[in-house]
Amino acid sequence: MTQKLRRRDALKLASGALLATPMLGARRARAAGKYSPGATDTEIKIGQTMPYSGNASAYGANGRAHAAYFRMINEQGGINGRKINFISLDDGYSPPKTVELTRQLVERDQVLLLFAPLGTAPNVAIHKYMNQKKVPQLFVATGASQWGDPKHFPWTMGWQPDYHTEGHIYAKHILATIKDPKIAILRQNDDFGLDYYNGMIEGLGKDAGKLVALAATYEVTDATVDSQILQLKNSGANVFFNITTPKFAAQAIKKAAEIDWKPTQYLVNVAASIGAAIRPAGFDNAQGIITANYIKDITDATWATSPDFVAWKAWMAKYNPTANPLESANATAYSSAFTLVHVLRQCGDDLTRENVMRQAASLHDLEAPLLLPGIKLNTSPTDFFPIKSVQLARMEGDHWKLFGDLMTRTAV
Amino acid sequence: MAAVTNSWATRRGIGAVAIVFWLAMLALPLLGNVFPSESFDYYMFMGQSMMVYAIAVLGLNLLTGFNGQISLGHGAFFALGAYVTAILMTDGGWPYWATLPVVAILCFGAGFLFGFPALKLESHYLALATFTLAIAVPQLLKHKAISPWTGGVAGLVLDKPDAPFGLPLSPDQWLFYFCLIVAMVLFWAAFNLLRGRSGRAMMAIRDHGMAAGTMGIDTSLYKTITFGISALYTGLAGALSAITVAYVAPDSFALPLSIAFLVGLVVGGLSSLSGCIIGGIFLVLVQNWSQSLSDWMKATFDLRYDVPSWAIYGVLLLLLMYVMPTGVAGGVGRLYRFVAQKLAR
């Protein structure tokens, strides 16, 4: 190691001395930028961890779509003349691996920020570290309510609507539409599952204890959830609240149909991907399932002519042709990458980590592509929840059919 | 196995080499002040990991290399040490350094107790018995009954300590020194243990248990105590790992970790103290390198698919075993003797 260091630094010194004079000239010719590590006159280095392998690998589509979006931006000339260097690493949804890779990205690769690392447990694992290091952990790809805590964690910001609110909305819908509900809950045994669960319990109010017939859990490392579904059926419940990631969602829906259990099903938004969950489970088995959306269902013909959808379609064909076109992650990732590029454009030549957070916390009615009509991104130094609204939708045929009004965080 | 070298561990003159080595390690973090590099903290972190693994491999070496008992489950003791430290720091609010003695006592106890059933089992059977530890522990750590303390699957996040007494060191430089001091103490203790009566007894049991018994060595006592000491070392390594990584979760302690210790042990060299350090360095570097090599191959040859880094790791391991069948320490020793003979002629 000693040897490696010495050689490296010696090289650096030598090349630095050689280049010093002409470099000064070049720097001055450009707009004098202010930079944190990871940003230069020509490049912005962005890091990410993503489950490309393992049980949550369905989410890997997000990272590939992000990369494809940045490729498009780079071909169009980059952000204020700077190319994006996007380093997305596979953590297999395993928190210790996330910690290791994040350290690599921040300390060895010196990225400017971490963009949309995926998963609640992986993000929890690096939450403190990122804030100690003062490196933006921006637009994390998880909706746990803890990402909107600028007072204690000013370097972390979510993007999608938070799970707690979503759980709350389902609870209200159950109370309003189902007589004598007896609720069976299946949830992933981690912070992601708990956040939804708590939102639901809070929404059910003081009778929650009576209304919930049974709550079963599974580990993200489990092979199947078959036995849990059997237990839930035997509880005699007439409502099934499915808090899972896509692979397990598909298993649960399929198993419930197999054993002829027909409750009213609620499926959390993060698993409501047609490509990753519904189709594997079988469309017949999924009719009538209710979820909450904030992004346009890309399989719904309603949007076929809207300009953002047309642009997305063209982008998919040109930059992301190998992706599954039914996979909703391609839409979510497109929209969140748009948000990041917008923030970095706003930063201008001041690409410091402080300014990145400042710009991220001053979004005003930003219209990101593919969000449902009426949903706009708003943030402030005290509000780190960019998207606050969802609309309920029901599985009809082969797509989600929206119903009811937009419901926002403040309204519940 | 025995042929490899008892002498290599305890030969005269090796002390001088060891002193030079440790002094060099002491100077290493100061390089960061001479040649400032943005990534220096990361290299410090790699250094910490190397020492952590070196201590763990030393723990396994005491058991396997010097006492002839095979363990495939030392990841479990590593996990125990890490979790004890993490829980004491988060729930108990203990300072990081104060957790080490507790870890030492607990892990010694756990190892000592596990040593009793181990007495009944020889070689392969013992390997299989310890294997169960490696499989069971990650699952047990996720268990609901203890998740209020262990944090379940999500694990526990710790605070990274700053340098004490206002020393002008970055947290990673300080942690490097902290690990180094602990490693030096542990290696010194092992050195003294091995070159004394107890060490000779341990090795005698390994070479011929029955003969050792007839010479008046209490073989069961020595075997169980060795198991305890071995677990103590590995547990302390786990505690250091929790402190330096500032995070523990069940997935970190799965079966591959136990196997990694064994790989480090065999690569470094059985029954060799310096081999433990080589093993620790190997585990960190080669894993990093195989990933970089995979990336480099993909970029250079313009491949469409990733080159699996674990396959590269396997090939490297295979090559090493062919070139140096007795581990790096043994190989270097052989080379040294070979050159010395040539020169003497």
Share of chain A above pLDDT 90, in %: 68
pLDDT of residue A12: 54
Which tens digits make up the pLDDT trace of A181-206?
Answer: 999 999 998 888 999 999 999 999 88
* Cβ atoms within 10 Å, residue B300: 8
Q: How many helices (H) and strands (E) does chain B have?
A: 16, 2
User: Is some CB atom of chain A closer than 8 A to the CB atom of B303?
Assistant: no
The whole-angstrom separation of Cα A215 and Cα A201 is 11
> A110: which chain B residues are within 8 Å (Cβ-Cβ)?
38-39
pLDDT of residue A411: 41
B252: distance to nearest CA of chain A, Å? 6
- Which DSSP string corresponds to B288-321? HHHHHHHHHHHHHTT-SSPPPHHHHHHHHHHHHH
The answer to pTM > 0.95 is no
Cross-strand pairs, A79: A82
The whole-angstrom separation of Cα A146 and Cα B154 is 14
CB A46 within 8 Å of CB A84: yes
The residue-averaged pLDDT of A128-139 equals 93
Which tens digits make up the pLDDT trace of A235-293?
Answer: 999 999 999 999 999 999 999 999 999 999 999 998 998 888 999 999 999 999 999 99
The token duo for A398 is: 């082969």
pLDDT of residue A302: 87
pLDDT of residue B149: 84
Q: CB-CB: which of B28, B42, B252 is closest to A103?
A: B42
pLDDT of residue A288: 94
The whole-angstrom separation of Cα A152 and Cα B133 is 39
User: Is the model's pLDDT at A5 over the cut of 50?
Assistant: no
Residue identified by tokens 């071909």 is: A75
Which tens digits make up the pLDDT trace of B50-102?
Answer: 999 999 999 999 999 999 888 999 999 999 999 999 999 988 889 899 999 99
- Characterise A144 by phi-psi region: left (phi > 0), alpha (psi -120 to 50), beta (else): beta
- What confidence category does residue A28 fall into, taking pLDDT thresholds of 50, 70 and 90? very low
The residue-averaged pLDDT of A77-104 equals 90
Provide ipTM, 2 decimals: 0.70
The whole-angstrom separation of Cα B295 and Cα B310 is 12
User: Is some CB atom of chain A closer than 8 A to the CB atom of B157?
Assistant: yes
pLDDT of residue A65: 96
pLDDT of residue A96: 81
Which tens digits make up the pLDDT trace of A298-355?
Answer: 888 889 999 999 999 999 999 999 998 888 899 999 999 999 999 999 999 999 999 9
pLDDT of residue B150: 82
User: Is some CB atom of chain A closer than 8 A to the CB atom of B62?
Assistant: no
CA dihedral defined by B254, B259, B262, B264, rounded to 10 degrees?
-90
User: Is the model's pLDDT at A25 over the cut of 70?
Assistant: no
Contact B154 A129 (CB under 8 A): no
* Cβ atoms within 10 Å, residue A205: 11
Averages of pLDDT over each 10 residues, chain B, 345 residues = 42 64 82 77 87 94 91 92 94 90 96 88 84 88 80 80 80 89 92 89 90 90 93 96 89 86 89 87 82 77 73 84 83 84 82
Q: CB-CB: which of B40, B47, B249 is closest to A125?
A: B249
Residue identified by tokens 């930063």 is: A347
The token duo for A378 is: 């708003």
Nearest to A365 by CA among A357, A374, A356: A374
User: Is the model's pLDDT at A14 over the cut of 60?
Assistant: no
Which tens digits make up the pLDDT trace of A143-183?
Answer: 888 898 999 999 999 999 999 989 999 999 999 999 899 99
The residue-averaged pLDDT of A74-99 equals 91
- What confidence category does residue A410 fall into, taking pLDDT thresholds of 50, 70 and 90? low
> Which of A5, A120, A124 best probes binding to B when mutated, by most B CB atoms within 10 angstroms?
A5
> A5: which chain B residues are within 8 Å (Cβ-Cβ)?
31, 35, 37, 40, 43
